[in-house]
Structure 1
Amino acid sequence: MSGRTVSSAILILVLGSFFATLCDVFIKLAGVEVPIFQFTLFRAVFMCMILIPIVAFRHFRRPSSAVFLGLKLHFIRGNIWVLAAILLVLSLSELSLATANSVFYTAPIFIMLFGAFFYKERLTVDVVLATFFGFIGILVILRPTEITFGMVSAILFAVVLAANSLLIKKLPQEQDMLYGLLITQLCALPLAMGLTLWEGEVFQVEILVYSVFSSMCSILYSVSCLIGYRYVASSKVTSAEYSGLIFAFLLGWWVFGETPDLGLFIGSLFVITPLLYLSHRDIKRLRKEQLLSSTRSSLGAG
């Protein structure tokens, strides 16, 4: 699977979505009483331990002069990652796997809104409608009779995830993505360590296993995105990531005995359908642009 064709890129992204959902499973398996800051620190440490030999080997084969670029941005993203990791644990400790993931998939909506606000990207009627239906979907999924930490954490996680994703645009293009991921995790360590000391919980050996496996799944997801979006236009394949919602339904039922109700399916449709439409629209626009470019080239050659 090279990721050079649309079909192989989609398959890679589907596998990546599976690993992302599996990461959530291991976090949820850690239990409601898990010391959140200690667990977050372990995840950051193990991600660094896994990435260091990989990045060192890649750098040894192809030395890069861009290793010191974007350190301030990596530091910001590292600290945002800590916040996102904490919100992820809080939401999964209270909500079902499928419910939490359904809310998480509103992140693309926040990305579009933040893109319009911070990068002055054009906010079309389609995007506004997608945002409107997305928030209706959240209300249908959560059906809040009272505001809980889990609900708020899930929505805030989607917001923080969107903010962190937008910062990727500012990362140095010539810098290796895995190296950037390593530096981001290294920058997350001071804050995670400080919060762990402040938490003051007794060291729990049993959560190490969940930390290791969730870290491995996070890295595999990041690698799948790196390969899946590297050669193919993102608009052609990004909808493949929504397969993660199917994995959340299946794994939630199989591992935790969760049974999704009709409201969850309806709410998920409100969230996902507009995003699939926007993706399909972008594909059509890209094809028209390519066709127009090919026609102009042919006329120029003639």
Structure 2
Amino acid sequence: DQNNLSQIAIEKEATCVVIIPKGFEKMTLTKKYPEITTIVNTSNVLTANYASTAIQVCLGTLKAGVQIETLRKQGVPENLLMSQYEPFKTTFIKKYNRSTNYMYFLWPGVLATVLQQVLLLGLALSFASEFENGTFKDLIKRCPSILKLLMVKIVPYLMMSFGVWLIYWFFTFWFRLPFYENLLPLTFIAGIFVISVSFIGILVSIVVPSQLKATEILMVIATPSFILSGFTWPLSQMPQAVQAIANVIPLTHFLKAFRILIIENGTFSQTTKPIWNMIIIGLVCSIAAYTALYFKKKSVLKEA
């Protein structure tokens, strides 16, 4: 069943699926020319190219070995072996990004990275600027609620992110990208992504009271995040330490959900793991930010 095969491939994060027909050996020996079908997941062009090349080499070697050995047993001269029949057929099918267009593959990931970087850099200054300018004391007098303080800093960026998301959506029409399905689920996931990124920025801004240092720290997080996300090069092939770092960056999980929903035409239920990962990151950072802001407020009021 093709639908089940697609679901399994998404769940297993398979780059290629090789389908060997039943009774392959028997059909090969009786010269019925069985066909091995390879489905290549080209949602990631880089890994698809590597995997398909490796499979072609493997199948080509197997084909040549079977062919030569069979003909040799039949007494065919060595110089004629390579010009005889092929024992089985091979078919390669590209799935999802069939044209291996880098516009479909790379562009959305870059846009999500830009959005994350803008949020982190903007929120890095949110509380750090208050501390540096000495206005934090006035701020807590006007707004004594810690929750409201956090919302005052985050909500404008949430509104801005929604506007940016609409611009990205219009870009798909401008560049004629076929990203029409699963947009509502993706928008919901994008909201979780923005919130989790915002709390990371807020947390660093509270903990590091210097605008310059907060910006530097968040730049260290934001700059390599696209490479570490696994969107281009598979995260499973990176060192464990790098994987651990990548898994605490929301972009890693958002791009995984984006690939499943938009490029691979998966279902919302298949994005449960990335969603929960972003929720956990957001919750941990929000609790840490709330706690840090509570102690900052307490310290300032005590000094007063």
Taking structure 2 as the reference length, what is the TM-score of the superposition? 0.30
Structure with the higher fraction of residues in strand conformation: 2
Taking structure 1 as the reference length, what is the TM-score of the superposition? 0.30
Structure with the higher fraction of residues in helix conformation: 1
Whose RCO is larger (CA < 8 A, sep 6+)? Answer: 1
